[in-house]
Every structure is written in structure tokens, then in C-alpha cells.
Homo-oligomer: A and B are copies of this chain.
Amino acid sequence: MSQSLALARFLPYRCNSLARKISVSLSRIYAEKYGLSIPQWRVLVTLAEYGELQASQVTELTSLDKVQVSRAVAGLSERGLLRRRSSERDSRAALLCLSDTGQTLFHRIEPEVLAWEQALLAPLEPAEQEVLFTLIDRLELRLQEMRPVGDATTGAGRSP
């Protein structure tokens, strides 16, 4: 007997809904208080963590596409929160790092955001938090496995 579909017990729906609610709630900190969009916020975090990166690396690390990164960088740059210089090895590549202002801003936001996350996770035991992250890891891994063989990134460049 096959079970039937109810949104309340349907993982794609539940996951989407949870993610949405988390975003809306969290964005009160970095969006409303500090005027950052989600992509801008992710770029900020990533540069704070890694120092200097190429735009393409930021793309990798943030799960944003290159258009989003480009626009986020433009916005942050206008506000003087990051500097970009072009690589001497490859003059197409843009090297990005936070300015002092950017670092300062990040260090002001970071504890607020971490505190918010702690508040969210507070009802879960540390072990349960571990389980949660592990489950997410495993599901993401599984999604990659499920990707059908002939995907977009496959037959790259054969016929003209």
C-alpha cells in the first residue's frame, strides 16, 4: 500500500517552508538593520572567513551563481565594504577582500547573528544539533547521487 501525499509530511515542502521562515526572521538582522541582501551577506561572511578570494571561488563557497556574486560585489563595493583588484596572473580575474570598514561591519553583525542562531537551536540538545547537520549533509550528498547521468554540466564542448 503506497502512502498518500500530504504537505505536512512532504519533505520538499517542509524544508522549503522552514528555510523560508528562517530567512525571513534572520534577515531582520542583516537586512533591516544593516541593509544587506542575502547574497551580500554571504559574500561578506565568506570573505571574512577566507581573506582574499577570486569571484569564482566565492561563487563555489556560497552556492550563489556568478550573476548574484557579481551584483552583490558591486553593491558591497559601492558602499566601500570591499576592495577588488585584478590579478596579475590573469587580468580577467577579480580578487576580492573586505575593506577595514567591511571587517568592522562584519564583526558588529557576526555576534548578533550567532546569538540568533543559538536562540533558534536552543531547544535542541547538542547531540541533536549534531544529528541535524549530519542529516542535512547526507541529504545533500544523496541529491548529488540522484542527479541523472546526462546533466547540464556533462557533454561540455563537443559539437560546434
Instruction: Give A contacts to B, CB under 8 Å.
Output: 2-7, 9-23, 25-26, 38, 42, 45-46, 48-49, 61-63, 110-111, 113-114, 117, 119-124, 128, 131-133, 135-136, 138-143, 146-147
Q: How far is the CB of A158 from chain B (nearest CB, A)?
A: 23
Q: Within 8 Å CB of A122, what residues of B? A: 142
A12→B111 contact, CB < 8 A: no
Check A121–B11 contact: CB distance below 8 A.
yes
Copy total for this chain: 2
Cβ contacts under 8 Å, A10 to chain B? 45, 117
Cα(A110)–Cα(B4), bound, Å? 8
Q: Is A63's CB under 8 angstroms from B121's CB?
A: no
**A113 and B18 form a contact (CB under 8 A):** no
> A135-B124, A146-B119 are contacts. A15–B17 as well, Cβ < 8 Å?
no
Would A45 and B138 be within 8 Å (CB), given that A12-B117, A16-B22 are in contact? no
Q: Is the CB of A135 within 8 A of B132?
A: yes
How far is A7 from B41 in the complex, measured between Cα atoms in Å? 11
Q: Which residues of B contact A111 (CB under 8 A)?
A: 2
CA distance A94 to B38 in the complex (A): 36
Interface contact A18-B140, CB-CB below 8 Å: yes
The answer to whether B120 touches A139, judged by C-beta atoms less than 8 angstroms apart, is yes
Of B5, B20, B45, B141, which contacts A63 at CB under 8 A? B20
